[in-house]
Each structure stands twice: as structure tokens, then as C-alpha cells.
Amino acid sequence: MLGPRQEAQSALFYDFSIEDHIPSDHVLRAIDGIINLTGVRQHLARFYSSTGRPSIDPELMMRMLLVGYIMGIRSERRLCDEVHLNQAYRWFCKLDLTDAIPDHLTFSKNRHGRFRDSDLLRHVFETVVAQCIDAGLASGQRYAADASIIAADANRQQSTPKADWNPEAINPDDAPRAVREYLETLDDAAFGAASPVVPKFISHADPASQWTGARGGPAYFAYSTNYLIDTDNAVILDVEPTRSVRQAEVDAVKTMIDRVKTVQDLKPERLIADTAYGSGPMLDWLVEKRGIAPHIPVILCPAVHVYMHERG
């Protein structure tokens, strides 16, 4: 027998629980059972005024950003829409069906304000790494290091050739934020001081980015994201952004090894990396100064190649 037509009828009361509608094997349920973000509010407390209207809960913003990262949602405007619509996302963010979602501009304002001033994202990252170590997911005995190239939001058409580039002529008071940050990092070992070579082009919108053709195709503006990974379960122990030049990427590994030792009290027995990290000074630093066995192909100079060929 054909049943009646299904028509939407608004009820006066609903007996509904989001908890009952999230599958037990959902990835966010698994993550929620492990991650602990209760320290976010305490870490940020001194960056909020004691007067004024109540702020958006910073733990809520962190949970929403985690949803975006885990689910591959890159746009914060879209992230707000997805959290509004998706029950699992609401549940993970501790929101009820009727709770309002923060405006997407809230994330931009906090990222360039409180989050940056307090180094909150690194605090959250290091807290999660510590939880992985406590759970036995990372022993710190064997590290692997590598860099990934991340395209910058910069256009070749809006750039200046290196022959015409003069950073001393820039007035920081009139410059946009990205340019001011570029001027502040000119002496930074990971950026301006990483190499004396001036890039072929410098972007107007993001001058700290590097003009590179490292992937073998057309060149573009980019940064390098450097990773230090524990090989037990591929847990990322540290991350460091740099210019996309080898000198900066090699120095980033040194920075990350020392920082993990300071923050997490881990010292590796060996480091695995590709030939880019096989220079003499880097190998000397690992073996002589840090007591780490390098599993890295050595960069051979032409004279060594000739000697090895003659020796057969």
C-alpha cells in the first residue's frame, strides 16, 4: 500500500541530541577523545581586556580551525558555513543546534592579533605533540626531516626585478602588513639572511616569499614548510617556515632539533634526510655538536668525484 506523502511539519517541541547522531567511528569523535584544548583560555587570558563585551570562546575557534584542517576546508568563510550545517562539526565544536557560529572575519582579526601575539598556534601544536609522546606514539629516537613548498598568494605580474628592488626605500609607516613583516625579517636566518643572493623577482604583495622553480616547472612565489617527523608513527614533532632556499631549510632542521629538545626533552639517535641536507657543515653539526647519527647521502664536490673515479 502506498504510504502518505511526507510533508514537513513544524513541531512545537523536539527531543533531539546531537550526541546520538554522531557515528561511533567518525574521525572527529576519535580526535575529540584524545585532544585536550582546555589550556587555550589560560594561555590567552592576558591578551583580553578585563572590560567590554564577552569574546568568542578561543577554544571554539581552535576547534573550528581543526575541523577545517582535518576536513580540508581551506576557506574560513566556507568553514563557518560547514560548521553551521554539519552536525558532526557542531558536536566537535561543542555547539548545540541553536548556537550561533562566529563570523569568518573573527578568525582573520584574531590570527593577526591575539593568536600571533601569544604564539597560540604553536602552543596548541606543542600541546598536541606532548600528548602524542605521553601516549607512546613518538619515542624521539629516530627523526626524518624534509621540506614542502607552499605556493604564496602572490602574482608575477605584481613584482619587481631584483635590479630595481631597494628595501631601504620602503617607508614602513606607509607599507601594508606583509611588507612590514618582510622588513622585520631581513636579518632573520630563515628569511632575509638565509642567502646573500637576491631573488630574480620580488613580490609587491608578499616580498618575503621566494621566486623559485624548485618543482621543475614554471617558477612562482613560494615558502618552504619544514617538518621534523618521528618515524615511529609519522608524528610531526615540529614545523618551521622559511624561504624556499636550501640554506634556510638546512638551518630550519637545526632549529627544530634544538627546539624539540628544549620543549619536549627529546634527543634522537639518528636523522634521516635527503641529499639537500648532506653538506659538510650540516653533517659536522649533527655528529660532533649534537651526537646524532646522520642517515643522509653526502653532497660530493667535483674534486671528490674525480678522486673516486680515479680510485675506481
Are residues 180 and 112 part of one domain?
A: no
Are residues 97 and 148 part of one domain?
A: no
Are residues 180 and 88 part of one domain?
A: no
Residue 216: the pLDDT is: 75
Q: What is the domain count for the chain? A: 2
Residue 82: the pLDDT is: 96
Average model confidence (pLDDT) across the chain: 87
Domain boundary among 101, 126, 151: 126
Flag whether 10 is in a domain: no
Are residues 182 and 115 part of one domain?
A: no
Q: What is the pLDDT of residues 103-161, one digit of tens each?
A: 999 998 898 889 989 999 999 999 999 999 998 999 999 999 999 999 988 888 888 88
Flag whether 114 is in a domain: yes
Flag whether 1 is in a domain: no
Per-residue three-class SS string for the chain: CCCCCCCCCCCCCCCCCHHHHCCCCCHHHHHHCCCCCCHHHHHHHHHCCCCCCCCCCHHHHHHHHHHHHHCCCCCHHHHHHHHHHCHHHHHHCCCCCCCCCCCHHHHHHHHCCHHHHHCHHHHHHHHHHHHHHHCCCCCCCEEEEEEEEEECCCCCCCEEEHHHCCHHHCCCCCCCHHHHHHHHCCCCCCCHHHCCCCCCEEECCCCCCEEECCCCCCCEEEEEEEEEEECCCCEEEEEEEECCCHHHHHHHHHHHHHHHHHHHCCCCCEEECCHHHCCHHHHHHHHHHCCCEEECCCCCCHHHHHHHHHHC
Higher-pLDDT residue of 143 and 5 is 143
Residue 306: the pLDDT is: 43
Residue 312: the pLDDT is: 47
Q: What is the pLDDT of residues 246-281, one digit of tens each?
A: 889 999 999 999 999 999 999 999 999 999 999 999
Higher-pLDDT residue of 210 and 304 is 210
Predicted TM-score of the model (pTM): 0.82
Residue 62: the pLDDT is: 94
Q: What is the pLDDT of residues 36-86, one digit of tens each?
A: 888 899 999 899 888 888 889 999 999 999 999 999 998 999 999 999 999
